[in-house]
Amino acid sequence: MPISPSVRPLSGVDYPSTFLEFQDWFSTDEKCLDYLARLRWPNGFVCPRCAATTSWRTTDGLWMCTACSRRTSVTAGTIFDRTRTPMRTWFAAIWFVTAQKNGVSALGLQRVLGLKSYETAWVWMHKLRRAMVVPERDLLTGTVEVDETFVGGISRGNVGRSSDKVPVMVAAESLGKNRIGRIRLEPTPEGRLTLVNFTQRVVAPGAMIKTDGARELRRLSALGFEHQYFTQLGSTVPAHIDLPAVHRVASLLKRWMIGTMHHGASREQFGFYLDEFTFRFNRRTSKSRGLLFYRLMQQSVITGPHPIKSLVIPRDDSAACDVRPTPDPAPTGGLVP
């Protein structure tokens, strides 16, 4: 299982192209650990303490630095840190998560892997969602539509911010002819000018920004962007005609929440579900599920451990507002995956 030095990973060289090949590559935990080592140290071992590059393998499968004698595991400091579950099971989970076009819920993961506890599957899914965001990812360019949508159940008699739905900021590259490039999604924080700040964070200066006619958005032209806005008040043109990309992304997001997550995302964790949807959407044209497996594995070895205490976000019951009536179950037992 060599890892090619090329920038573009190769099917059958850097990652398995089929499930049968996946089973052959990762039939033992030792093969899984060797693959992780190649991903984590593509140019050879690097000591996390002294940065030395020479080491030898101990009988218990650890790497010992010949310079400072530090012993380290290839899983230390990654999402697999201190796991007691066989690495083959972890690899199978990542293959299954990336092989499914629309993703999988924690309950679905528990069933397909035969995990004894739902809480274990829940923790694994949230660890993987943390790894789905690439640090310092590229900014959106070209023509970018920016708007806000509201995700949740039915809120009768109330619309927009007056409802109990979760506001979500959406930015989408518009490529013309009903084509969409990359997207960025974030829950809307409290405060004013949130869409302006969001645009500055995710869109490259000089891009053409298309928005609705909200007055606070008109300052974008003074912040280094070309800005075109469409006023809906008194207009006979529907909003989805002027801003087709963001409206289509919002529609797909809502369908994904219903079809895959079954509205099963609490408001406190909702940003991480948006990260998963973004990861999948931006790679929707990939012809190889194995390549998605490879990318998520790459990001898993550079993502911190995220212990269970950091994954469970305490709720303020007096102010909690869930995306669904029943909150997303969080781990309650003492199980450590």
Mind listing the pLDDT tens digit for each residue in 17-44? 999 999 999 999 999 999 999 999 999 9
CATH 3.30.420 positions along the chain are 143-274
183-205 per-position pLDDT tens digit = 999 999 987 789 999 999 999 99
The set of residues, in sequence order, having a beta carbon less than 8 Å from that of 64 and lying 6+ positions away, is 55, 56, 57, 58, 70, 71
For the chain, the C-alpha Rg in angstroms (whole number) is: 22
In the block, residue with structure tokens 């640090």: 135
One CATH from 1.10.155, 2.70.50, 3.40.1340, 3.30.420 for 143-274 = 3.30.420
What SS3 class is residue 43? Answer: coil
Percent of the residues in the chain that have a pLDDT greater than 70, as a whole number? 85
Asked if residues 4 and 14 have their Cβ atoms less than 8 Å apart, the reply is yes
- Model confidence band, residue 334 (pLDDT cutoffs 50, 70, 90): very low
Asked if residues 260 and 105 have their Cβ atoms less than 8 Å apart, the reply is yes
Residue 267 DSSP one-character state: G
What is this structure's pTM?
A: 0.85
